[in-house]
Chain A
Amino acid sequence: MQHALQINGLTKIFRSGGVETHALRGIDLDIPRGSLTMLVGPSGCGKTTLLSVIAGILNHDSGSIRVLDEDLDKMDEAGRTLFRRRRIGFVFQSFNLIPALSAAENVSVPAILNGMEHKLAIQHAEELLERVGLAEQRGKSPRDMSGGQQQRVAIARALIHQPDLIVCDEPTSALDHKTGEQVMTILREQALRDGRSLIIVTHDARILHHADITATLSDGRVESISTGTRLGHSPQL
């Protein structure tokens, strides 16, 4: 079986000003490809830290981690950069769209980073904007868009280079319930195609029913894993 994640005994300690914070205290987690996984847990339990290590933007201290069947430990900085560029899509809580660029230009960025010619990248971007229901908005600046629209642009951006894994940190926290629900639906429908995997960190209990797998973290460890919450059951937060 192909894996999205194979994590064993993963630890991460933040050291700042003589203070040590054990953010991850031995994470064990196995996630198959093609699933939508939610990481939940109380504030400060290490969700964002874990997601950052998975996405290859933060180095861990010990334990092993394979993402998309590639060993992150064996990569140097440049290798991880390339890995992120080719295989990971990002969706952020605060969107992080560049206001100086139009929606289509924002979406085109990962494609251009991957060497696609500008015109072609814009063309692809416009197709993706259509898929998230924003064909009309392609020339607009994110500044002039609602939060829900911005997050849909961000989803299109996370999809354009056809990554194998999309990581999202609190994608709906900045949105009202109805908009959050719309965004989740689009994420499910558009992102989960083609055997792609999705990992979403969230506080938002209202979206948990979208999950195939829910991993609950507590104090830097995985407390429980449940499957199939999408069918109705929501775990305790």
Chain B
Amino acid sequence: MNSYALKMLFADRIRFLGLVLGIGFAALIITQQMAIFLGLLSFAHGAVDDAPTAKVWVMDPAQESIDISGVRAMNDTALDRVRGVQGVAWAVEHLRTPLECNLGGGLRRACLLIGIDDQSWTGLPPVVEGRVEDLRQDGAVFLDVTGAAKFARAGRDLKIGDSFEINDHRAVVAGFVKSKKAIFFGSYVYTTAARAKSWAPSVRRSLSYILVEPKPGADIPELCARIEKNTGLKAETREDFAVECSNFFIFNTGIAINFGTAVVLGFIVGTAIAGMLFLQFTQDNLKYFGALKAMGASRLTLVKMVMIQAATVGSLGYGLGIGAASIFGLIGVKASRGDLGFLMPPWLLLASASAIFLIVTIAAALSLRSVLKLEAAVVFRN
């Protein structure tokens, strides 16, 4: 009877289409809003992801995230103390100082001066133009291509060899890197740690982060705990720190509520549309379900028929919604040159599948109630 159930479903073309579109729309809203939210979240730890070789991040205990909560620097002696902890293979400085660039002609722009270790280059994103060693030359900096584009839009299109000023120091563009998208309105400027220190206004503390490589075979969470115990600093694995950055972003902005509202709305609208249309569809066919019941169709047979109808519109709608969300994501990310955060991990596909499953189950349950409640004797009432 399953194929007959499907024929009944397809025969009512308009309603079938309405059902698939309604569920598709719900799947689209739920998936797309979640994907944008996840994309934004990933921006919150973009700077952590820029240093994939740093397995452990050490920072001031008050530091809650990277860049968006500001920088609380550590005492310069911290580096030696961390290096002294058992299980640390090596540890390097990582400085992040918000400054202003003077691009010439009165053009000033916010930037984040990032000082990196000039031996391991840990924390330098992939170089797209120039040679890493050139960063050792006098006044050399690397610009992030996205930041450079911002400068260009403002009126200063910097090329290799061009110079500008950071805090009254002459900076020469030696190359370009591709940083991960992050929640930071300024532009990233990379240079060596020593130069970054000398360019920043002199303060008692200048050490923002320490990036640590554990000895081979070391238990990393254990090492973090030991660093914390021995130094009084905060040490996190890269993964934990990334999560912490996301959490800081979630709990200190209204962003989760905003996206959550859209997701819940998509769910409610989807349930309402699917529930109503599916119920209408079943009501229209109630007469035939009644006849089947009279002819001896078991409850199980009827349940299966309704379920297969619901499952079909559910999976088609889900496919449509996911497809539309993917296309939206592909086009959006491309058109915005990466400004649109859009992440669709497998668990999100599973989550929206579960949401659609729930919507369809609610719709089917409502319909099944009327089908099962139906007295077979109605078939003789005209």
Contacts and interface: CB of A to CB of B under 8 A. Distances in A.
Contact of A92 (B8, B292, B375, B380): B380
A113 B4 contact: no
Contact of A101 (B7, B293, B381): B7
B10 interface: yes
Contacts of B296: 81-86, 88, 110, 113-114
A98 interface: yes
Contacts of A92: 291, 379-380
B7 A96 contact: no
B264 interface: no
A58 B377 contact: yes
Residue from B1, B8, B292, B295 with most neighbouring chain A CB atoms (10 Å): B295
Given A98-B8, A101-B7, A113-B301, A48 B380 contact: yes
A48 B381 contact: yes
Contacts of B291: 90, 92, 96, 98
Interface string A148-177: 000000000000000000000110000000
A168 to B, nearest CB: 10
Range of interface residues on A (Cβ < 8 Å): 20 to 34
A5 interface: no
Contacts of B381: 48
Nearest to B1: A112
Contact of A57 (B4, B10, B375): B375
Interface size band for B: 20 to 34
Interface in A57-111: 57-58, 78, 81-86, 88, 90, 92-94, 96, 98-101, 105, 109-110
Interface of B, secondary structure class, is: helix
Contacts of A114: 296
B185 interface: no
Contacts, number: 82
Residue among A83, A85, A170 with the highest chain B CB neighbour number at 10 A: A85
A86 B292 CA distance: 13
B8 A57 contact: no
A207 interface: no
A84 B298 CA distance: 10
A48 B10 CA distance: 34
Contact of A84 (B3, B287, B290, B294): B294
B11 A113 contact: no
Nearest to A82: B296
A118 interface: yes
Interface in A3-60: 48, 51-52, 55, 57-58
A155 to B, nearest CB: 14
A109 B11 CA distance: 17
A37 to B, nearest CB: 16
B210 to A, nearest CB: 71
A140 to B, nearest CB: 14
Contacts of B382: 93-94, 170
B328 interface: no
B370 to A, nearest CB: 17
A52 B4 CA distance: 26
A58 B376 CA distance: 8
B377 A57 contact: yes
Interface of A: 48, 51-52, 55, 57-58, 78, 81-86, 88, 90, 92-94, 96, 98-101, 105, 109-110, 112-114, 118, 169-170
Given A98-B4, A109-B295, A169-B380, 9 more contacts: A52-B380, A57-B294, A57-B377, A58-B376, A58-B377, A81-B296, A90-B291, A99-B11, A100-B8
Interface of B: 1, 3-4, 7-8, 10-12, 287-288, 290-299, 301, 375-377, 379-382
Q: Which 5 A-B pairs have the closest CB atoms?
A: A85-B296, A100-B11, A57-B376, A96-B291, A84-B296
